[in-house]
Amino acid sequence: MGVRDAQRLGPVNAALEGRITNAKGAELTGLSVRQFKRLKARVRRAGPAGLLHRNRDRPSPRRLSSEVREQIVKLLRHPESRLNDCHLRDVLRDGGVQVSAETVRQVRRSLGIEPKRRRRPAQHRRRRLRAGRAGSLVLIDGSEYAWLGAQLEPFTLVGTIDDATGEPLTLVRRPHEDLHGYAQAVRELVVTYGLPEALYGDQTAIAVRNDRHWSVEEELAGRQYPTQFGQMLEELGIRYIPARSPQAKGRIERFWQTAQDRLPAEVALRGITTFEAFDAFLPEFLARFRSCFARPPRETVPAWRAAPRHLDRIFACRYPRTVSRDNVVTLPGVTLQLPPGSYRRSFSHTRVEVRELLDGRLLVLHDGHVLLEQAATAGNFTLAPRDSGRDRRKARQPIAALRSSPPVQPKPARVRPQSATGDRDLLERARRRRLPVRPWNRLETLKRKEARG
């Protein structure tokens, strides 16, 4: 019997003995008169035990069933994957079982299992307001991790998320963070959703020029030419914003933290060990992630723009070239023979642009027209800038010259042989040398004639 029931027993017994009225007993117990009469009847029949609640020692109809508890225990003790409380709740919900994260936590604590991640003390941060419209700002980054488990080699996922909604948009698997992965992720983004207004990423050399070299053309233009990825974004009309620290793009860093916690665990639950099965599972994982963490934007009108024509030509590396006299354009390791134009026109000494596409094809463009299209070679292709060794040495020359090159020594002056008579013959020959007839030399010529008499 609890304290409340013990306090009610005295007024009920006094009312049964007739020492107080039912109204007085109801006032002392804080109950209504009708409820106090019910308590009197129960105590008269069962004694003091009649004050106890009828549901005491009865199993709750809302208790966790043994089958669901076994599923939770099985997932908590899974030998290959470890799920946190919220992730385990989401996995059960996908299977049609509705439980709360607090229920999972209570079961885990009853089994004596430590949490997957320790909670860190809260740190003071300044809030950055999210973008108002979907597509106004898209965050892009790459993360290298053992996505298929610690027994396999780690690889990189290049992903994009929307800042306004927190929704992951694309994920691309690559061996490492490179230009091909960034271009493929943005291309899938443009094809699926449209053109965003701006991209927000780190200061990687893929997207930002980090060298101090300025060519003559760049000095005349007043700016450094962007990287190959930057040229793609310029043609698409997308602004790139480089972050000064990882905390500045904390939303995508938080996405990677959650993905590194959930994705390998779900991959282990499904027994995925190949890249093909992993790529097929990514759309399902992204859909579940959106349903759990995406939020509606502040403004309902999205900022996505329509994709332009000839999208394949934009996601390519660009190389300006001059056609040789035999109508040949060369790249490092590649020679392209241009066909004759209309009326067998020659393109000798013409400035053209060679573009290498994501699928490995090569295009030679002149004034927006395709002069030559060369098919891709067999096998897997990775888009990477084709910089020649001469270009790389030229780009490093200003910094290397300041650091390690010896000072340039002036060439010694050339000494002409003199005649046997010495300097007098040289002076006499110089005096006899005829000066050219020019306006500023006429006065000197007249003076010399008068001196000779």
| 333-357: pLDDT as tens digits | 899 999 998 888 999 999 999 999 9
* Model confidence at 418: pLDDT above 80: no
Q: Could you tell me the two tokens for 121?
A: 């003390």
| 277-333: pLDDT as tens digits | 999 999 999 999 999 899 999 999 999 999 998 999 999 999 999 999 999 999 988
* Separation of alpha carbons 56 and 413, rounded Å: 114
* Separation of alpha carbons 383 and 55, rounded Å: 71
Beta bridge partners of 320: 353
* Separation of alpha carbons 35 and 26, rounded Å: 8
Beta bridge partners of 156: 144, 174
Q: With H, G, I as helix, E, B as strand and everything else as coil, classify residue 378.
A: coil
Q: With H, G, I as helix, E, B as strand and everything else as coil, classify residue 392.
A: helix
* Separation of alpha carbons 62 and 131, rounded Å: 43
Least confident of 171-175, 177-181, 404-408, 409-413: 404-408
* Separation of alpha carbons 277 and 267, rounded Å: 9
Per-residue confidence (pLDDT) for residue 403, from 0 to 100? 40
* Separation of alpha carbons 240 and 202, rounded Å: 10
Per-residue confidence (pLDDT) for residue 305, from 0 to 100? 95
The DSSP H or E segment spanning 173 is: strand 168-174
Phi (first) and psi of residue 257, to 5 degrees: -65, -45
Q: With H, G, I as helix, E, B as strand and everything else as coil, classify residue 182.
A: helix
Helix axes 33-46, 22-29, angle to 10 degrees: 100
| 27-39: pLDDT as tens digits | 888 889 998 888 8
Interior angle at CA 320, CA 314 and CA 325, nearest 5: 135
| 138-179: pLDDT as tens digits | 999 999 999 998 888 999 999 999 999 999 999 999 999 999
Per-residue confidence (pLDDT) for residue 137, from 0 to 100? 95
The count of residues in the chain is: 453
Q: With H, G, I as helix, E, B as strand and everything else as coil, classify residue 352.
A: strand
Calculate the average pLDDT of the chain.
84
Instruction: Identify whether the C-beta of residue 332 lies closer than 8 Å to the C-beta of residue 166.
Output: no
Compute the Cα dihedral for 197, 200, 206, 209 and give only its sign. positive
| pLDDT band at 60; cut points 50, 70, 90 | confident
